[in-house]
Amino acid sequence: MATERTLVLVKPDGVRRGLAGEVIRRLEDKGLALVAMELRTLDRATAEEHYAEHRERPFFGELVSFMMSGPVVVQVLEGEDAVKRNRDIMGATNPANAEAGTIRKLFAESIEANTVHGSDSEENAAIEIAFFFKPEEIVG
């Protein structure tokens, strides 16, 4: 297994409920290390670009509005197999289908307000990390 980086967002529902630390704790406990982090409120252009792959989906407009509804914690996590490891810690998109003990099973409010985002491949992780952070903002 190789050392990878992945992009994680604590979404507005998570920050609003004080779950940012809870998310970081769970990622660090499973061997992922924070190498970049920022609290920010996404504007429309940023939210739309982040979710551009879903532009044609019926939920896109509501999803973008939700992502702009409050601050998010944008993070880069690094470690062995980081992309899949983070997806396993997050759980399935729909909390109804998420495995017990995952972040989404424990904390998601709905399929939309599901507390966290995580990159779904190494290729997308590289794109998403470069979208949110300059190289010099990533430690190590």
Kindly provide the b/e burial profile for residues 61-96, where b requires at least 16 CB atoms within 10 angstroms of the residue's own CB. Answer: eebbebbbbebbbbbbbbbebbbbbbbebbbbeebe
Taking CB under 6 A as the criterion, which residues in 20-59 touch ligand UDP?
Answer: 54, 59
97 binds ligand UDP (CB under 6 A): no
What values do phi and psi take at 90, rounded to 5? -70, -45
Binding-site size for ligand UDP (CB under 6 A) equals: 9
Residue 96 tokens, joined: 């109804």
Binding mask 77-96 for ligand UDP (x = CB under 6 A): ----------------x---
**Partner from Mg ion, ligand UDP, none binding residue 93, C-beta < 5-8 Å depending on class:** ligand UDP
Min CB(80)–Mg ion separation in Å: 21
Contact 63, 112 (CB under 8 A): yes
Footprint on this chain of ligand UDP (rule: CB under 6 A): 54, 59, 63, 93, 111-112, 114, 117, 120
